[in-house]
Amino acid sequence: CTRDGGFIPVNKNLWSLSYVTAMGCFSFLLLGAMFFIIDVKGWWRGQPFLYPGMNSIFVYVGHSLLGFYFPFSWEIGFQQSHWELLLQNLWGTGLWVLIAFLLYRKKFFLKI
């Protein structure tokens, strides 16, 4: 494995074989655990990810058009840390999930 011409596809600047195999292992374990919880036992039905998934085109277009306007984002002043940016992104994501939930309850689904 070389840095630029290796046979392992890595999309980060972490060019070690151990990192790639460890992340592959953890993703396989997470997929197996989620399959067991969702499909085998039926303990979780996918909420809150179900609501934006049912109106994903609406959420995508809405975020593209309104993502830079208040209340989805606001101007950040002098930034000492990433906490305000994290809060802004969590707030925007939460609003889009809430909008998708309200559209789901009204049975409004945007289709192409």
pLDDT single digits (tens) 26-37: 999 999 999 999
Within 10 Å of residue 17's Cβ, how many Cβ atoms?
11
Is pLDDT at 15 greater than 90 in this prediction? no
Q: Given this model, what pLDDT does residue 2 score?
A: 52
Helical spans, DSSP H, in the chain: 17-35, 50-54, 56-66, 83-105
Q: Answer yes or no: pTM beyond 0.85.
A: no
Of the candidates 16, 102, 9, the one whose C-alpha atom is nearest the C-alpha of residue 59 is: 102
For the record, the structure tokens of 46 come out as 């996918």
Cβ-in-10-Å burial (0-12, 13-18, 19+) of 7 comes to exposed
Of the candidates 20, 24, 21, 22, the one whose C-alpha atom is nearest the C-alpha of residue 10 is: 20
Does residue 71 have a cis peptide bond before it, meaning omega lies within 30 degrees of 0? yes
